[in-house]
Amino acid sequence: VQDKNALHLYSVNGKYLGSETLKEEVSDMCVTGEYIVMGSLQGFLSIRDLYSLSLSISPLAMRLPIHCISVTKEYSHILVGLEDGKLIIVGVGKPAEV
């Protein structure tokens, strides 16, 4: 069985830098600073390092397909739109700051 979901990283000049196989189908993503924030149809919110593509934290289960992702301009919160119309707000930072 061939894995059809992958994240590929290229330089600005088009040089291939690496890839990471994904278990989920990505429904939305945004690049924020040095991180990639991704949502999947399987309901997982993932944050990956932009340069290594490795997970920065364990994926957060939202239990429903994620339709859209946005990060506030202060990088303090991630806004997650779910299939049922709910908006989930996830605080970013150390647990004491959230």
Taking residues 78-91, report their average pLDDT: 96
pLDDT, tens digit (0-9, with 9 covering 90-100), for 42-58: 999 999 999 999 999 99
Band of pLDDT at residue 24, cut at 50, 70 and 90: very high
- Using pLDDT thresholds of 50, 70 and 90, give the confidence band for residue 4: confident
Q: Pick one of 3.90.950.10, 3.90.1150.10, 3.20.20.210, 2.40.10.360 as the CATH number of 6-91.
A: 2.40.10.360
Q: Would you state the pLDDT for residue 93?
A: 74
pLDDT at 59 over 60: yes
Please state, in angstroms and rounded to a whole number, the distance separating the CA atoms of residues 22 and 5. 5
Single out the residue of 68, 67, 48 nearest to residue 58, CA to CA. Answer: 48
pTM for this prediction: 0.86
Q: Which residue has the tokens 């939202």?
A: 62
Cα separation of 66 and 80, whole Å? 7
DSSP 4: -
Q: Where are the domains of the chain?
A: 6-91
